[in-house]
Copies of this chain bind each other. A is one copy, B any other.
């Protein structure tokens, strides 16, 4: 047995139950969610695993439509590796571009921080000289 309620999945993934239902509607699950008593969703470990993939992709800025596309390919089963590679490689490019942007920003911050720290240091020095 490994039937998980939506609440349990929310807890384990860090997504809200709202977001879980939303993702399902958006087609981000590789399989239709089973339903238990009273029509309640029943997830399994595979769902958690796939959601973790989705979360990592989202965290790196992949739009929902692209995740859906990738999910569809996975859902369709083996034989579409070329398309899957296309999706992933395209995203890798964007991730690398983002990293570059972050790096640029980090440089800027470091530079500015040095300037401001310098000014503060200077002020301290002056204070020391006029006690």
What is A's interface to B at a CB cutoff of 8 Å? 53, 56-57, 59-60, 78, 81-82, 84-85, 88-89, 91-92, 95-96, 98-99, 101-102, 104-106, 108-109, 112-113, 116-117, 119-120
Nearest 6 interchain pairs by C-beta: A60-B105, A81-B116, A59-B101, A56-B105, A88-B109, A92-B109
**Chain A interface mostly:** helix
Contact A104 B53 (CB under 8 A): no
CA distance A118 to B96 in the complex (A): 23
Copies of this protein, total? 2
Determine whether the beta carbon of A95 is less than 8 Å from that of B105. yes
A102-B105 contact given A81-B116, A81-B119, CB 8 Å threshold:
no
Q: Which residues of the partner chain B approach A109 to less than 8 Å between Cβ atoms?
A: 88, 91-92, 95
Of the candidates B59, B88, B92, B106, the one whose C-beta lies within 8 Å of that of A104 is B59
